[in-house]
Structure formats: C-alpha cells, structure tokens
C-alpha cells in the first residue's frame, strides 16, 4: 500500500510594509518606529514580510509617491497579499485616492491592514470604521492646510514673507523681524550696484566663491555650498534686498528695511531684462557680443580666425549656410567705429544740453506728482495694516475682511503703477552724460563697456566688404 502524502505546510500570507513620514513635524513619526510596529504585527499574524517600502518626507495629500506605487503594483502582480500600514492615514490623506486604492487592492484579491488600528474590514462595520478613520485623516490634512493659509495671509498683511526661511543680507529677530546684516547686507547692496554697472553674474560668482561669504539655504544652493549663477540670480531677482516680498507672483512692499533704493531696483530690472535674452554673451571677452549683425540679417559671432588668429566677428549664415562670401570684420576696426559713434553722441548731447539750458527759463515748470503719490500710498498701506489688526482683534469673518481689503489693494496697485510711470518718464527724458565715461573708456572692463553700449545701441549692422567694411549703428529710441 503506497505511503500517504505528508500534509502540506500552511501557506503564509506575504506582507509588504508601507511606511510614510509626514512633512509636518507634529505628525512626523520615524520610519524606524513604523517598521518596528509593522514587523511586530506581521509576526503576530503569521505573515511573511517580503518587502519594506518607504516614502520619507512626502505629504499624504499626493498620490504621486514612488513607494506607494510600487506597493500597489506588488499586490496587483500577486507578489504580495497584504499591505501593512502603521496607521490608516499613512496610505493617503485623500478621500479619492483612498477609495481608488482600496478598490484596486480588493479587485486584485489583496487587503490592507493597520498595525496599530486593527479592524476587520471583511465586515460592513469594519469597513465603516475604516472609512471614518480615513475621513478623519482627510479632515486633519485640510485643517492643517487651513492653518497654514491663515498664517501665510497674516504674515503678508503684516508685510512679512510667506515663510521664515533665511534671506541673504538679513538677520532675523523674533520681535523686530528681518534686519540688515552688517556684513552680508553690504555685500548684497554692492552686488546690485555692480550688476547694474555692467559686471556679469559669472564674474560676481567667481568673486564671491573666492571669498568667505556663502549663500543661505532656500535659494537652490549647490551641494558644495558655493555660489552658482542660478543661486545669485535667485537672490537678486527675489527683490527682498529692495524691501519687497512676493505675493502670488507679484512684488509688494514688505515691512523690512531695503538695502537699495527704488531707482536702483528699477535699474536692476532693466539690466536684467536686457541680459535675459543675451545671457550667452555675458561671459564673452568681446565688447560687441550679442550686439552685432551682418547686413544679410544673420548674427555675427566673435572669435580668433585665420592663420594669424586675429580677433574678428564672423557672419553665422555665411559660415553655416554659405549664403554669401566673406562675412568677416576685424573686431578692433568695428569696435573703434562704435567708440567713435559714442564720442559723437557725447558731443551732440552736450550741445543739446547747452541749448536746453538757454531755453529753460521759457519752459513752464510742471509739478512733480511723486511726493503726492508717495503720501497717498503710505496712507493706503496704513489703512491696510489697520484693517488687518482690526480683523484679528474682532475675529472679522474672512469674506467681510476680503471685501474691505479689495478696494485698498486695488488702489495700492494703481499708485504703484503711477509712480513707476513717473520714474520711467523722468529717466527717459534725462540726458545721458557721457564725457567722463568716455575719458575712462579704455580702462573700463569689457562687461561694463558692453552694458553701456547696450543702453544706447540696439545693434550694429555690418556691411562686409573690401578693402573695408562699413557700418550702420541703430540707436535705441
């Protein structure tokens, strides 16, 4: 009689532990604790732990988490039978994501269990209890979001940035807010002034990294902690050094003292705008890089060409497409021509200035509205501050506060626009004074020369020819 077959061993359920560490400190339970509780639960239930997946520091509001996607795939591929969580809220704090996940796992024949909130989800009562716990997790997530929104709104009403991250050039005092740092504040102010004068971002970065001053966190600092062109641009573009904070993508006056004047901030924005489309030329050692074009319409690139390695500008279309022969002009020749144009411009402007001075007594003076606009702007900002204080003291409903705030914010925007128009009009009417600069022209750094040329010249058109090329300087209007 054949021997009986041995009784097969009991098949153990395969468990995958899913861990998630919250981004909020008060709810940030360590991954080690979650794994310990999950393994202890699996041992009590007789499960075989086949994997441990974790999403550290990721909010439960989003379903775009790598580890949770891997866990779901394991169950759907029948590589695991049960997902073990520390608490139900670890899987998701979104009602929709929870419902979709539970349906997918059930359809795959798997299940989800909690190590510290055990429920029998095979019964209607257990599923109701789980639904209540996940609903509470969603409520708690929304409550935290509401608290943060109100905190941000209050900070903005008080002229403070939306978050308390460090700002380069400033120190933070709990009672007095952001105050200029005696060392880095002076550095930041100087960085703005030198950029306006024509020094490139790359040159400024080299100088900063050669010293001991380092950027603060929050501006995309590189791993080595050094300055990069991206980091420096973020520091300067933020406008914090100009006394501004950003609200919904717009800059508005902050409560902290500025390190540069309004005129310097506007000059920085203008220089930044010019260089934004000509960033590649900031590192160039050639004065007219980005400013010179061939008569065929193509740009001209600088370099040392020919057997003698002479510095020249070359037509890009002639080189790449063969649209015409030649296409070269000696760099020294065209640069000297542009310098001569600047000298002529100086003489003409001096003549115009002298003529204007003679006519000045006959010109009717026009009242400058700047003072009136600034006084009204200060009054509007004061009313906004007082409204915020009153709303806090009286517990004013948000819709009532927003209704009263809206016309004040609209008037603030109108006044800022009016001030900007006055400043632009006054700058455009001003006569550029060049004599002293031209006397020192040869001693100026190339980026400084290039920045001055950009402010006066749109581009230089070159007509290549033999024995000499000819030029047409297109001045800015």
Q: Is the dihedral of CA 390, 396, 402, 406 positive or negative?
A: negative
In this prediction, residue 421 carries a pLDDT of: 59
Calculate the alpha carbon distances from 213 to 136, 173, 227, 261, 265 in Å. Answer: 48, 21, 9, 23, 23
Compute the average pLDDT of residues 169-192: 86
How high is the mean pLDDT of the chain? 76
Domains of the chain, residue spans = 14-144, 176-280, 292-357+433-475
Calculate the alpha carbon distances from 439 to 113, 346, 444, 447 in Å. Answer: 81, 11, 10, 17
Compute the average pLDDT of residues 99-126: 80
Angle, helix 398-429 to helix 262-276, in steps of 10 degrees = 80
Which has the higher per-residue pLDDT, 281 or 292? 292
Compute the average pLDDT of residues 212-226: 76
In this prediction, residue 231 carries a pLDDT of: 87
CB atoms within 10 A of CB 219: 20
* % of the chain exceeding 70 in pLDDT: 68
Does residue 430 sit in helix, strand or coil?
A: coil
* % of the chain exceeding 90 in pLDDT: 8
- Buried b or exposed e, range 101-120, using 16+ CB within 10 angstroms: bbeebeebebbbbbbeeebe
Task: Pick left, alpha or beta for residue 429 (phi over 0 → left; psi -120 to 50 → alpha; otherwise beta).
Answer: alpha
In this prediction, residue 430 carries a pLDDT of: 37
Q: How far apart are CA 259 and CA 188, in angstroms?
A: 8
Calculate the alpha carbon distances from 450 to 265, 270, 292, 457, 461 in Å. Answer: 20, 15, 12, 10, 16
In this prediction, residue 79 carries a pLDDT of: 92
pLDDT tens track for 426-440: 444 333 445 556 666
In this prediction, residue 287 carries a pLDDT of: 81
102 backbone dihedrals φ, ψ, rounded to 5°: -60, -40
Which has the higher per-residue pLDDT, 41 or 2? 41
In this prediction, residue 415 carries a pLDDT of: 73
Compute the average pLDDT of residues 438-464: 76
pLDDT band, very low/low/confident/very high, at 276 (cuts 50, 70, 90): low
pLDDT band, very low/low/confident/very high, at 236 (cuts 50, 70, 90): very high
Q: Which residues contact 355 (CB under 8 A, 6 or more apart)?
A: none
pLDDT above 90 (res 254): no
pLDDT tens track for 391-424: 666 777 767 767 787 787 777 767 766 765 565 4
Compute the average pLDDT of residues 268-280: 70
Q: How far apart are CA 103 and CA 394, in angstroms?
A: 47
Mind giving me the DSSP string for 202-235? HHHHHHHHHSS--PPTTS---TT----HHHHHHH
Q: How far apart are CA 418 and CA 158, in angstroms?
A: 24
CA gyration radius, the chain: 34
Compute the average pLDDT of residues 46-59: 86
Q: How far apart are CA 263 and CA 269, in angstroms?
A: 10
pLDDT above 70 (res 445): no
CA atoms within 13 A on the CB side of 7: 1
**What are the DSSP E strand ranges found in 325-418?**
328-330
In this prediction, residue 212 carries a pLDDT of: 85
CATH class label, 176-280? alpha beta
Give the containing element (helix H, strand E) for 367: none
pLDDT above 80 (res 282): no
pLDDT above 70 (res 171): yes
Q: Which of 32-46, 103-117, 288-302, 457-471 has the highest mean pLDDT?
A: 32-46
Q: How far apart are CA 243 and CA 254, in angstroms?
A: 6
In this prediction, residue 23 carries a pLDDT of: 57
pLDDT above 80 (res 136): no
Mind giving me the DSSP string for 168-206? TTEEEETTTEEEE-TTHHHHHHHHHHHHHHT--HHHHHH
- How far is residue 138 CA from its own chain's centroid? 30
Task: Give the DSSP letter of residue 256.
Answer: S
In this prediction, residue 426 carries a pLDDT of: 47
The architecture CATH gives domain 14-144: 3-Layer(aba) Sandwich (3.40)
Q: How far apart are CA 301 and CA 329, in angstroms?
A: 10
| pTM of the complete model | 0.42
Peptide bond into 467 cis (omega under 30): yes
């Amino acid at each position: 009689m054949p021997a009986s077959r041995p009784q097969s061993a009991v098949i153990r359920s395969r468990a995958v532990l899913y861990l998630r560490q919250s981004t909020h400190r008060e709810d940030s339970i360590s991954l080690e604790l979650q794994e310990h509780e999950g393994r202890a639960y699996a041992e009590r239930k007789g499960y075989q732990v086949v994997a441990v997946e974790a999403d550290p520091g990721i909010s439960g509001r989003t379903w775009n988490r790598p580890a949770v996607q891997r866990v779901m795939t394991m169950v759907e591929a029948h590589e695991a039978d049960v997902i073990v969580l520390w608490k139900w809220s670890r899987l998701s704090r979104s009602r929709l994501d929870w419902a979709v996940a539970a349906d997918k796992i059930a359809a795959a024949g798997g299940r989800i269990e909690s190590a510290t909130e055990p429920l029998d989800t095979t019964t209607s009562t257990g599923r109701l209890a789980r639904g209540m716990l996940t609903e509470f997790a969603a409520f708690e997530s929304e409550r935290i979001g509401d608290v943060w929104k109100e905190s941000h709104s209050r900070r903005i009403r008080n002229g403070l940035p939306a978050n308390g991250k460090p700002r380069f050039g400033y120190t933070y005092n709990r009672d007095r807010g952001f105050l200029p740092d005696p060392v880095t504040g002076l550095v930041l102010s100087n960085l703005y002034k030198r950029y306006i004068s024509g020094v490139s971002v790359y040159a400024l970065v080299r100088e900063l990294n050669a010293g001991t001053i380092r950027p603060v966190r929050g501006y995309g600092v590189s791993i080595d902690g050094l300055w990069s062109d991206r980091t420096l641009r973020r520091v300067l573009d933020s406008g914090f050094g100009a006394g501004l904070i950003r609200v919904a993508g717009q800059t508005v006056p902050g409560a902290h003292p500025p390190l540069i004047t309004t005129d310097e901030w506007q000059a920085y924005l203008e220089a930044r705008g010019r260089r934004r489309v000509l960033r590649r030329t900031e590192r160039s050692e050639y004065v007219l890089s980005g400013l010179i074009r061939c008569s065929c319409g193509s740009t001209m690139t600088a370099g040392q060409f020919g057997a003698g390695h002479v510095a020249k500008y070359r037509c890009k279309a002639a080189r790449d497409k063969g649209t015409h022969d030649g296409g070269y002009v000696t760099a020294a020749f065209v640069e000297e021509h542009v310098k001569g144009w600047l000298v002529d411009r100086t003489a003409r402007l001096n003549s115009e200035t002298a003529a204007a001075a003679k006519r000045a007594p006959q010109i009717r003076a026009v009242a400058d509205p700047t003072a009136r606009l600034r006084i009204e702007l200060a009054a509007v900002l004061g009313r906004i501050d007082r409204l915020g204080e009153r709303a806090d003291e009286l517990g004013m409903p948000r819709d009532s506060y927003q209704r009263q705030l809206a016309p004040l914010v609209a008037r603030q925007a109108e006044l800022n626009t009016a001030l900007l128009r006055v400043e632009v009009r006054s700058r455009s009417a001003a006569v550029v004074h060049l004599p002293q600069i031209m006397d020192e022209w040869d001693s100026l750094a190339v980026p400084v020369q290039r920045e001055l040329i950009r402010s006066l010249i749109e581009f230089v058109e070159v007509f290549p020819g033999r024995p000499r090329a000819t030029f047409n300087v297109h001045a800015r209007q």
